[in-house]
Structures are given as C-alpha cells and as structure tokens.
A and B are shown apart, each in its own frame.
Chain A
C-alpha cells in the first residue's frame, strides 16, 4: 500500500556517488520489504517540477527529491499536495509535509583530511572537485582544515574539473588533474567530483599514489590504492525516509546528519586496512570523538560563505 517514489537529479542514478548512494539505499529497502518504488531521472531544469508533481499526482507517498537543485521545485509541489509526504536531501525546505536531510560534509571531509595528513609522506595532498559550487567548497574547506589539523605545514593543492555539466563525468580530466597534482608533489588526492573521480583513482593507481573516495564506500574500486572514502550516508538517509514512512514514524522537519548521527564518516574495510595502521586508527577515533564532543570545531563554509572562520 506504500508507494514511495524518488526523483534523481541530473547526474542520474548511476553517477558513482551521490545519486547512486540513494539508489543503493532504496534498492536495499526494496529487497528488504518487497515494496517497489517509482523513479525518474531528470535531464533538464524543468523536469524536476514535472517529475515531482507527476509522482504526487500518481499517488506516490513519500516522494523523495535528491539534491539541492530540487528545492525550489519541491517547495512548489509540496505546497500543491499538502497531504503527500516529501523529503529532500541536501537542502532545507521548510514546510509541514517536508522532511529535509542535510549532511555535515565538512566533518567527514575533516576526518579524511586528517588521515591524509597523517599518511602523506610529502606533506602535500590534493583535492579535486567537480565544479566550483558552494557544496564542493564545503567539502574542500573541511578537508583543508583536517589536513592542517594533522600537519600545520602541509600544503593542499586544489583543482576544479570544469564549468559545464561534463565536469561531473570527465574521468580523463580528473586523471589529468590528479597527475598534475602528483607532479607537483602531492601523494594523496581527495576527489569530490562524481564520475570524474573514477579517473582520479585510476591515475593514483597508475602513479602508485593514493586517492580518497567520496559519498559511498569506493575502497573496493582499486584495493590498496584508495586510502579511504568519505562516507556521506545518503543511502541510509534515503532508506530511512522510506522505512519510517512505512512504519509510520516519518516526521517532517530538518535532520542534520553529521559525525554524531553517523551521517558522515570515513570508510575502513578489508580493502584499505593495510593502509591505515593501528595508531592512525586510534587518532581517527579520537578526532571523531572530539568533533562530536565539540572539542574540535569544524568550520562550515556555508555558515559565512568563506573558509575562514
């Protein structure tokens, strides 16, 4: 009787990061509960509203919108269908029938930054973003703080892939950016660039350097090359939206998922356990605890549109 629906954003459900994370979560929901969901992948700005409305019209409930770009459309449609439950990831829409889920990417990025600083032999690490947008700056800003926290003298090289939508799907450019950072002395590169990251990780592998994955656990892609992945548990979030709706425990409002909520984190598994020694693990655990406890304050770029806090 529950008929959930999801509207993926332009990257598509197989974007190797964010949308794909959502997809993994709701696929798990489907296998666990046997409840099918409706889905749509938008291809232009206008389809967002169309798809959300179409879902609501078809009686879908809850309707999950993925990505900050869907906020205006979702706000409009949620007003039209006050009886339908909506949820949005990565953005706040303040309506009585909308659940907004946002992540503290900067906290997760801080952690992997600290790990990079601790692992780097050259004292230089890199960051590769997809496009220069606030969200990516938030990733970068958290990462830089983590690196500096681990090694105040460490240097962070930063690159953005491009200015067109292709920036999220350009492994070639990603690989080239990574190589340029390796050439300049970096030995660990953090990619927050969707499908572009595939090229970054490949380049790291080819050069015998390390890469850090993003969003979902990407450690398995090149075992031994991926230092870790900054986890942004959109899969859990998406799963929970559907699950709570099914259980009747769904609540509107804003959920901010950080380290404390296990919404973000770093991945340690069989693919990278040799790369992170016990001492470092302990350091990571204590850092995590410190952030949760508020002893370490990770500055959020979005709070003042600047990485200086």
Chain B
C-alpha cells in the first residue's frame, strides 16, 4: 500500500476524544481517543469484552458517554441518540443485527427514514434506490423477501443497504465477517472498497487479523476498555497485533498430528430432513465418522448444515434415512431423543449458542448442566446438588478460562466468546464418543479461538469422533481430517484434510453454488 504514509495526513472524519463509559461498576471505555481519516478504512481489534462495541455504540448514539467528545469533520457534535448520529452521516451495522425479522427487506430499509406518513410512496422510492445501490455495489437482494427467512449473509447485506440508503458517510461495521463465508467476506470487502472509493469512511471491528491486514488502512487495538495502540496497517503484522490485543504472544498456527482413525462411531445413511414449510433441507445424505477423526462439513450457510446437525442430535425428526450411533439406530419410526443420545455419549455444540445452547437468564452454573440435568452426579435424592454443580462449573470455568469466572453471573452477561466457552466446556468435558460442533468459534477472539481449536484436536486424539460444521474455511482446513462440502442439502464433494486448500474448496462450493449466486432464497 503506497499511500500508507499519507493516511495520517488526511483530515479526520471522526475524532473521539477521551470517551469514558461505565456500566455500573464495569469500566467499559477508559478515556478512549481515536481519530479516523476521511475516506479510509479503519480497523479496531481487541479481545472479547475489550469495549469495542461500546465505543462504536457511543459514536452511533446508542449509548451516551459519561465523558468525552465526538467530532465529525472537525466540529464537535452532540450525539444523544442514533438519530443525531444518522443526521451527522454516521451509521452502524451492529454486531447483532438490528432487523425486524417479520418485515421484508424493503420494510426494514424504510424503517428509519423520514418522509410522508404514507408507506406506499416510501416503499416505491426505496425499491428504486435499492435497485440502484444493488447495481452500484453488487449488493443484490430480493426486496420482498422476509428478513427472517434469509440466511445471515443476505441479512447483513440488508444492514449495509440500510446504512447506504440513509446516506451514511461514515459506516461502522461491528464484526460483520463473523457470520460470513470467505466468498461472502470477499464480496463484503469489495463493497467496502467501492465505498472507500466514493469517499466513505469505514470503521471495521473484527477478530480476524487476516482481514485487518487485507482491507484496513489503519488499525487500533483495545484492551480492557483502554486504547492501547494505533498503527498504520502496512507498518504492522498479525503477530504484533495479536500480542497487543492479548498482552502475550499468541502462536497463530496449530501443530496438528496425523489422525489415527478407529472404528466407525457415527454412520449416516440416506438422511433427508424436511422443514415446516415442506422444503427439503437435507437431501439423501450419507457419511461416516470414525473415532479419532474430525470430519468437517463446509458450505455456504443455509445449505442444510444446521438441519443436518439438528437431525443427528435428535432434535429434529426426519422422514427418511437412518443414523447409527453407539448401538442405537435412529429412523423415522424411531426418532432419537436428545437426552437419551447424550447418555450414550453424544455431545452437541449448537451453532446458535444463545438461541439453542443456553438459557440466557440462567446463571452460568445452571447452564453448565443443561442437557445433563438428569445426571445422578448432579443430584442428591430428588434435590439437585448445588455445591457439586457449582464446583463443577468453577472447575470448567477455570479450565476453559471463562471470564469472569463467576458461576453466579447470568449467562447473557457474558460476552459471546465466553458463552461459547461455557457451552464447549459443558459438551467436551463429558468425554463423548461423538461430538457434533457447529460454528465453534463464531465471534470469538483469537486467544479463545486458539484454545478451542487445541481442545478439539485433543478430543480427536483422545479417540472422539468429531463432526465439525463451520463456514470458516480456514478453521475447517486447520482442523478437519476429511472435508465434506454441502450444497442445497446434498454432499457435493469430499476432500482430504491435508490436500485441501481454500481454492479447491471454494471452487467446490462456488461451482455448486453457481445457480444460487447471492445465497438468498
């Protein structure tokens, strides 16, 4: 990047000066200052809970800072609400999508836009503008699709279109890529570059340092609420950023031994799953997973991976097929029961941890027994054995470095990464014979990713059969011994782990996906 040195000379589009924010006793932002030059892409990295989202939410007016100043194009402005921010041209794509899932794309688009009281003209205008934007940035989307029916990739496109439609000059994206496939990420970055070319200033939060290196001009690092470093991207590298974030050296590669597969632990034959609307989501799928190997399932999200996992875990009945595991056979006539499967040694890390994997309102210790609540070890006669569970929870928290290590904290009070660690601890610590894992590191910081990957490999080496579903190609390639590619409910290819590379896999997924370009349905 030749213009790297110029970046610092450009006038700042936004300046945050001495932003301070407390949530109760938690000091989320400590006198944070940040300047982002106009027309550049600025990255923010930091561990889970470092205060990145808080800082950006303050810039967007969602939270109010306790102290500090926000300047846009050099003038201090008061940002008391998102309305003020939007008026100043600041818009944000939030970490958790801010979409109304029962609305269509178009309706979501016009939600925040001012204008007459009748809806029809506004929708008409939005439709035209949407087509134009889609054209200009390659952000195609069906304006009449109901958002709840869309896969995450297109959903995020809606979020970006929302901001563009409102005429954002400064666009904040909070972990936009954590839910995207590489192809989708690439398209997002193309959009960001196009925006940059038109003078839009972009702030990008991500945990993936590769992406920081790829797209940003400058980058800031946050740790424990404070801003610890600003760097010009071209003048730094992943290792030093990782060290700045975590405060220690983080090895970025995994040393993985060759697998020593044993007996078949999980056998799937002719499995089909049909959803509530009668659409076939999994179509005649068959494969085997052996003890001591990791089988990865790659694919663009929404191609049946979720339904496959749900069916294997006994959560979803299926009209066709047969699943053999630990001496039981699940068939349409004999549907499995998740509780029973668990006692036979099946563990399941669900894709959607807050949706399926935990009860948000429960304290951590209660979620650590979810699914295993009938285990005699957790009860005395009829009453549950609280001390035992608390001790168990504390042990798991220590082993998996869950922060804060407080078993009594409500689960939704943990960051997503730490929630994930809780779920993983719960499922892995039972020494299962078969482990189903969906998106194990979605939205998790690099320190934690490293830990989770190591743990999964250790499980494999201990003889567990692991079925890993992930949209992160990098992750699949790093972990899986065999990789199956799923497309439209079918398995369209298999690649050995050591020979796989991003190009072949991407091609497999892309070739197959040709007819379904934007993934929206």
A and B touch in the complex (CB under 8 A): no
B residues within 8 Å of A by Cβ? none
